[in-house]
Amino acid sequence: MTDKNTLLAEINQTGTLKSLPRWQFINGKKQAPHSGRFLETIDPGSGRVFAEFPDGDAADVDAAVAAANASLQGVWGRTSPAERSRILLAIAAMVREHADELAVVESLDAGKRLSEAEWDIRSVVRTLEYYAGAADKLHGISFPLSSDYSGHTVLEPAGVSAQIIPWNYPISTLARGIAPALAAGCAVVAKPAEQTPLTALMLADLAHRAGLPDGVFNVVTGTGAKTGAPLVSHPGIHQITFTGSVATGQRIMQAAAENITRLVLELGGKSPLVVLKDAAMDSALNGVMGAIFENAGQICSAGSRLIIESSIRDQFLDRLVARARGLKLGHGLLSLDMGPVNSAAHLSKIAAMVDESRRKNTILCGGKVTDSAAQIDYDSRQGAGKNSKGYFFEPTIILAPDASDAIVQEEIFGPVLVVQEAQDFDHAVKLANGTNFALAAGIYSADSRKTHQFARQVDAGQVYVNEYFAGGIETPFGGNRRSGFGREKGMEALQNYCKIKSIVTRIG
Ligand code: NAI
Ligand code: MG
């Protein structure tokens, strides 16, 4: 393990790290890609390429799926739940030991602030420990049949799980999928996003070193088209967990239909955050700021629509806009207030959506790409250079009078808050339910009758009352309607990875 300061010094000098994975992880081994080709990954804070990773294809997918199936037929299939629990705890300990490396690489590859990446790694440890505790408690039930019969269920592992991972929370999304999968006795083939492949490879290697048998947890890297698509349509895959865009979710659901593969889809959102006039203002302000500017707004459950009660609109927005204008932007490793967005393509998409909205809406602050964010002072003698500016978008707040406007209806997935005004509580609920998404929803109010009514009336997979993003790995997470279906996290997630078998015996 290398500590944070040593790693940061190496990045300052060379713009990268020597120890980064340049392999796929298949059948317990570091493997070169079948194609012999590599792709580049970029540091979004500077816009510079800093590493290469394998450009995987269907042949790599075949090898990984075969290894995963072989592990189920072999030693992993015979490993007891108690032993699976011990292995998950050993992986958690290994991640804790290597937390600095994982956090620095996650920050460099995804662009997120190092302090957020450190939080993500702590959540990975917690997730592994939580499901370690569940592995040996996957009880079935017995049925109340007549005295001539005995009946019970057993929970069997679903088989090989394909995990398609997005770039906004690369390692923590992977952990929340693999931990319950391994606890339930499944094997995994994971495909991280092509923008952020590195920490998934590191995690698979660490898990293997912690005692996970060969073939149980494989990682193939590459694009969605060349690596993701053959993985989700592979007949050797028995379950799919996908987090990402609605369009790709639709494609994956179609691929799953071909083999009748079970799946969980965690898609986009346009989650409402309601602030009523009796809310505690400081805590509501903090809540709204975190809901939209954390991870530069690239969170599926971001609170991206503020619904504010008319009587406090101006007073609240004045303070909110002042706070947003005061945010300091910088390279993720500097851990200022906000980092870059993940890619040049994503930056253009955000800018285009905001530009399109100008005519019909009022931009209260921000609204533009900026090149004035703080940069890392790379040592130019090493040729690391300082010329590129990274992918930064100003913290933006847009007042939107028309609830049907695209800026209100579509996911932006960036630091762009849309504000809608509600005349009263009922109007707020109506606006909250006014998109095709239904992932998360939040409310700030001192009136517990109203917060309870809101929680019951809003269509969402999770509702946050007086603290946006409240909850932890214990809290089931997922969406309704175009936000997807199925639940991750909590004990609920284990169902994704278990097949229920009923066994009935005639005994009379
Ligand atoms: P995407 O949904 O295409 O990418 C997510 C993952 O799916 C990546 O690993 C990608 O390689 C893989 N993938 C792509 N096509 C595939 C296919 N045909 N079969 C199997 N795997 C495939 O999302 P993208 O293009 O990176 O971002 C587009 C938009 O999606 C964003 O602007 C944002 O609005 C949304 N998004 C939502 C996320 C969430 O957490 N719900 C996460 C990432 C993106
Ligand atoms: Mg990257």
Whichever domain contains 332, its CATH number is 3.40.309.10
Nearest CA to ligand 1 atom 19: 229
Active site residue 300: yes
What is the arrangement of strands in the sheet containing 362-365, beginning at the earlier edge strand? 362-365, 396-399, 416-422, 303-309, 271-275, 440-444, 462-465
Residues with CB under 6 A from ligand 1: 164-168, 191, 193-194, 223-224, 228-229, 232, 243-245, 248, 251-252, 266-268, 300, 346, 349, 411, 413
Pocket test for ligand 1, best of 254, 413, 436, 462 (most atoms within 8 A of CB): 413
Options 266, 394, 411, 488, the catalytic residue: 266
Mean pLDDT, range 385-407, rounded to an integer:
89
* Same domain (yes/no): 242, 342: no
* Same domain (yes/no): 136, 279: no
Does any domain span residue 77?
Answer: yes
Angular region, 322: left φ>0, alpha ψ -120 to 50, beta rest: alpha
The label of the residue with tokens 């089931």 reads 476
**Cα 245 to middle of ligand 1, angstroms:** 5
**Cα 268 to middle of ligand 1, angstroms:** 10
Q: Which CATH number is 156's domain given? A: 3.40.605.10
Does any domain span residue 453?
Answer: yes
* Same domain (yes/no): 200, 315: no
3-state secondary structure at position 141:
coil
CA Rg value for the chain: 23
* Same domain (yes/no): 244, 286: no
Which ligand has an atom closest to residue 107 CA? Answer: 2
Pocket test for ligand 1, best of 61, 168, 245 (most atoms within 8 A of CB): 245
Instruction: State the closest ligand 1 atom to the C-alpha of 252, by its place in the atom list counted from 1.
Output: 19
pLDDT band at 377 (very low <50, low <70, confident <90, very high): confident
Query: Using one digit for the tens of pLDDT, what is the confidence trace for 402-417?
Result: 999 999 999 999 999 9
pLDDT exceeds 60 at position 380: no
Mean pLDDT, range 225-233, rounded to an integer:
98
Query: Using one digit for the tens of pLDDT, what is the confidence trace for 19-35?
Result: 999 999 999 999 999 99
Active site residue 498: no
* Same domain (yes/no): 172, 257: yes
Nearest CA to ligand 1 atom 10: 224
**Cα 470 to middle of ligand 2, angstroms:** 28
pLDDT exceeds 60 at position 384: no
The pLDDT value given to residue 239? 98
- Host domain of residue 316: 272-472
The pLDDT value given to residue 385? 47
The pLDDT value given to residue 379? 60
Which ligand has an atom closest to residue 166 CA? Answer: 1
Amino acid, res. 186: C
Which ligand has an atom closest to residue 174 CA? Answer: 1
Domain count, the chain: 2
Residue 71 to residue 69: CA distance in whole angstroms:
5
Query: Using one digit for the tens of pLDDT, what is the confidence trace for 62-94?
Result: 999 999 999 999 999 999 999 999 999 999 999
Does any domain span residue 1?
Answer: no
* Same domain (yes/no): 278, 414: yes
* Same domain (yes/no): 217, 290: no
Percent of residues, the chain, with pLDDT higher than 70: 98
* Same domain (yes/no): 301, 219: no
pLDDT exceeds 50 at position 471: yes
Does any domain span residue 19?
Answer: no
Between 261 and 385, name the one with better pLDDT: 261
The pLDDT value given to residue 260? 98
Instruction: State the closest ligand 1 atom to the C-alpha of 231, by its place in the atom list counted from 1.
Output: 20
Options 106, 116, 294, 300, the catalytic residue: 300
* Same domain (yes/no): 362, 241: no
Nearest CA to ligand 1 atom 27: 245
* Same domain (yes/no): 189, 303: no
**Cα 450 to middle of ligand 1, angstroms:** 36
* Same domain (yes/no): 192, 83: yes
pLDDT exceeds 80 at position 297: yes
The pLDDT value given to residue 336? 97
**Cα 8 to middle of ligand 1, angstroms:** 30
Query: Using one digit for the tens of pLDDT, what is the confidence trace for 36-53?
Result: 999 999 999 999 999 999
Cβ–Cβ under 8 Å, residues 203 and 179: no
Percent of residues, the chain, with pLDDT higher than 90: 96
266: closest CA among 328, 173, 368? 173
Note if the pTM is more than 0.75.
yes
The pLDDT value given to residue 225? 98
Mean pLDDT, range 366-371, rounded to an integer:
96
Average pLDDT value for the chain: 96
**Cα 109 to middle of ligand 2, angstroms:** 4
Query: Using one digit for the tens of pLDDT, what is the confidence trace for 192-212?
Result: 999 999 999 999 999 999 999
* Same domain (yes/no): 213, 259: yes
Between 170 and 382, name the one with better pLDDT: 170
Query: Using one digit for the tens of pLDDT, what is the confidence trace for 331-346?
Result: 999 999 999 999 999 9
211: closest CA among 90, 326, 319? 90
The pLDDT value given to residue 383? 47
CA 496, 116, 385: angle at the middle one, nearest 5? 120
